Amino acid sequence: MSTAVFRFYGELNDFLPPKHRQCDIDYSFQNSPAVKDAIEALGVPHTEVDLIVVNGQSVGFSYRLCDGDRVAVYPVFESLDISPIVQLREKPLRHIAFVADVHLGKLARLLRLLGFDTLHSNTYDDSELVAIAAREGRIVLTRDRGLLKHNAVTHGYWLRSTNPVEQAREVVRRFNLETLIDPFRRCLVCNGLLAPVTKAEILAHIPPRVAVEHDEFFRCTNCEKLYWRGTHYPKLEKHIAAIVGSLDKKSP
């Protein structure tokens, strides 16, 4: 039986039992498993890892463990560009887009409110969600750690909070999206983009009172749902303020 010593840093400790947090972990193995398999066997999804250093050298997920290896595993570095030494993912995402699991409907709605491309359906099972992520290059958002360990998932995030507003804050912070927030550009129902439409075009589809009180309208280019700054608008602005206003505060 061979042994390697692992050490996990930062928020990766969230996935470990208390006895393994912030300390060296002796990992026993047979043959020569891939370091990715060892990391996930210890409880950390590979999607949460941004850098693996073995005996002082950056390695990829396919690195085969050897007896006596010392392995340091790091999460995403928010304030340091380590791209020149990272060997984990060959194809970075060209644009930020998400797919949320079935339990994250409120989060999906909030991310759409902020302007982010976010797919969600109550009918997605795990295999369909993984297939969508792989086919469309989307980041999987979930509270299910096992889902992120799927081999086909290259980018994902395990949400720490169960509160939708705090979850939205987590996502914005984790993927450095502060400067990309563009509210009221996506349909909250289907994720389609909104486009301006004249009152004359939609007059037959809105209540008479709305036609009198409002002049600016938008229509979803996908499902054709209509939007205007009605009584619900201040509540949506409050949601945005709750997310954006807390970004400079430390996460719970």
Contact indicator for 44, 12 with CB cutoff of 8 Å? yes
SS3 202: helix
Q: Which two tokens stand for residue 15?
A: 């996935």
Q: Which residues pair with 195 in a beta bridge?
A: 219
Identify the CA nearest to 48 among candidates 16, 17, 26, 23: 16
Summarize pLDDT for 138-196 with one digit per residue, the tens.
999 999 999 999 989 989 999 999 999 999 999 999 888 888 899 999 999 999 999 99
- pTM score, two decimals? 0.81
- What is the predicted pLDDT for the residue at 251? 41
List, in sequence order, every residue forming a beta bridge with 58; answer none if it has no partner.
53
Q: Helices 105-113 and 233-244: crossing angle, nearest 10°?
A: 90
pLDDT for 252 equals 35
Which pLDDT score, from 0 to 100, does residue 79 have? 46
Query: Rounded distance, CA 252 to CA 250, Å?
Result: 6
Beta bridge partners of 220: 194
Residue 77 pLDDT more than 80? no
Give pLDDT, residue 246: 64
DSSP bridge pairs for 227: 218
Distance from the Cα of residue 130 to its chain's centroid: 13
Average pLDDT over residues 68-79: 83
Tell me what pLDDT residue 86 has: 52
Arithmetic mean of pLDDT over the chain? 90
pLDDT tens track for 12-54:
999 999 999 999 999 999 999 999 999 999 999 999 998 999 9
